[in-house]
Structure 1
């Protein structure tokens, strides 16, 4: 994979420069679809996934999920083929329809009205991201970053650094909204202020937790951006 991208040139102002959204489980309710896809592929490969596997797979890219399934298999497997199987199983489910999570569209529209850029930063492949954007509305985002488009996948900081750089905003002036430990680690490593939406995991230091995006508005995001500088 490519080396870690450098952040954008610019001074850290303490102001809200952009909001970077994770996709699966944050903007749209696809995590059940993701788990079903992984479970289906694992069964096809002769493995039965457990609750601990479900926690492990949460927030992983297809590449990393396929690697996990390969490790569970008794017989040697071609990872590229497993990746293709997971991609196909997940894409079919997403194409059948996804549900936008409460508060997501209202927050995106409020950001647009305030002139605050929004980006979608996902560990899913481009074909899945584009399917979701058809439902959510691609015009609500200034850009989207899919798997392998921003250097190393989450939990590395690359996807968030890439999004910030393309927006021309210092990552320290970005608020990232995530729902998984993998995504939180990625955003924190990039230097973003992080909001954890939902989730049952322990909240890392410096991360704000909300139950749903219904309780998030632009003034709160501005406050968080300034508070954690």
Structure 2
């Protein structure tokens, strides 16, 4: 009987497993135009990580908008639904997941997007069989940068934090994983690296790290 403790690979979706930041940026630009707000890369980067309902609240507070956050959130989702079918998997995503599967790592998507949307994208991209577990932004009360999404992911996989690896593209996401006690790497990007996280250039480098951590 194999008593080896389970290992878990927990991955963010947008900008990490899904090559979606360009689409998300276009969606943000459309929303800002409709709201009459300035559209800047800095504003977009500041909202990369938390769930959209939380981002809508931030926009209302930041700009003193006379709209309800719920209405902004609904419109944001409507625009996103129009654009998201164009999103493809990030380069190296399948190779990383194939490696994890071959080495019996349990894979879980930990995303600020809704769970239904995440599962639809996994199915459309052909990755669903390799990522059977999903924690969506609607599965937790507190989203990233709080640890709740990653704690939920650990519970689904049955793996201990120290036997897991989190892969993120945003500081908020990396902070969430680190707060859950998970070794964390931030892939690419120009944003600040949270203390304790490791920056890697690509998912190919994450695959190399996973292989090294799989060795006895």
**When the two structures are superposed, what TM-score results if normalisation uses the length of structure 1?**
0.84
- 1:189–1:111 Cα change, 3 Å: same
Retained in 1: the 8 A contact 2:5–2:159?
no
Aligned position for 2:89: 100
- 1:184–1:99 Cα change, 3 Å: same
- 1:33–1:94 Cα change, 3 Å: same
Q: CA deviation at 1:114?
A: 1.4
1:58-113, CA deviations, whole angstroms, 9 ceiling, x for partnerless residues? Answer: 22211122113223445411111111111111121112x21211111101011111
1:93-148, CA deviations, whole angstroms, 9 ceiling, x for partnerless residues? Answer: 112x2121111110101111111110000001134212311214211113011112
Task: Select the structure with the greater relative contact order (CA < 8 A; seq sep ≥ 6).
Answer: 1
Q: Structure 1: 5+ residue runs without aligned partners?
A: 1-13
Q: CA deviation at 1:37?
A: 1.3
Aligned position for 2:68: 78
Q: CA deviation at 1:16?
A: 6.8
Looking at structure 2, the residues matched to 104 and 179 of structure 1 have their Cα atoms a distance apart, in angstroms, of 14
- 1:74–1:192 Cα change, 3 Å: closer
* 1:172-187 equivalences in 2 (<5 Å): 172-187=162-177
Retained in 2: the 8 A contact 1:45–1:73?
no
Looking at structure 2, the residues matched to 39 and 159 of structure 1 have their Cα atoms a distance apart, in angstroms, of 27
Q: Are residues 1:148 and 2:138 paired?
A: yes
Retained in 2: the 8 A contact 1:176–1:192?
yes
Aligned position for 2:203: 213
Looking at structure 2, the residues matched to 19 and 49 of structure 1 have their Cα atoms a distance apart, in angstroms, of 35
Partner of 1:20: helix, strand, or coil?
strand
- 1:205–1:78 Cα change, 3 Å: closer
Looking at structure 2, the residues matched to 225 and 136 of structure 1 have their Cα atoms a distance apart, in angstroms, of 25
Aligned position for 1:11: none
Judge which range, 144-153 or 113-122, deviates more. 144-153
Retained in 2: the 8 A contact 1:129–1:146?
yes
